[in-house]
């Protein structure tokens, strides 16, 4: 009887840990830009980011493009507020036609975060 209870307890623990790991690593909606820079040729932007909430770390990003717009979705690390695998600096390739960068905010919507000034051709934060 004690063996069965021990086996059941171990299985429940494994299931709980598995569910915890599967429930994390999702899309982050509170990512903010700390700093950014553009390569000399204008083809790569280095973005330094942080998370506005007290919990969470950025693990990776995924990019997509639509003509002159770039859409970026950030993903959290695995585990409950774990910083294992966390990054805060990312390289983003830019097409010459790209003049707007959006970050995923929530419910499938994206917010404009960076925009190229049409007069100066310099990137600027959108407030």
Could you please report the per-residue DSSP string of 45-59? EEEEEEESSSS--EE
**What is the residue extent of each domain of the chain?**
26-125
Tens digits of per-residue pLDDT, 3-19? 888 888 888 888 877 76
Residue 22: the pLDDT is 59
- Average per-residue pLDDT in the chain? 88
CA-based max dimension of the chain: 78
CA–CA gap between residue 111 and residue 127 (Å, rounded)? 10
Residue 107 has pLDDT above 90, yes or no: no
Residue 23 has pLDDT above 60, yes or no: no
- Which residue, 27, 33, 29, is CA-closest to 114? 33
- Tell me the pTM: 0.80
Other beta carbons less than 10 A from residue 50's beta carbon: 15
Tens digits of per-residue pLDDT, 62-100? 999 998 999 999 998 877 777 888 899 999 999 999 999
């Amino acid at each position: 009887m004690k063996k069965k209870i021990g086996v059941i307890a171990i299985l429940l623990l494994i299931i709980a840990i598995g569910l915890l790991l599967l429930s994390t690593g999702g899309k982050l909606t509170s990512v903010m830009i700390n700093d950014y820079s553009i390569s000399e040729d204008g083809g790569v932007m280095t973005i330094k980011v942080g998370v506005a909430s007290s919990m969470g770390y950025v693990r990776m990003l995924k990019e997509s493009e639509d003509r002159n717009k770039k859409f970026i979705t950030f993903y959290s690390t695995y585990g409950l507020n774990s910083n294992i695998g966390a990054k805060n600096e990312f390289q983003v390739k830019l097409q010459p036609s790209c003049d707007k960068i959006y970050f995923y905010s929530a419910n499938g919507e994206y917010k404009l975060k960076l925009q190229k000034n049409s007069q100066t051709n310099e990137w600027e934060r959108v407030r």
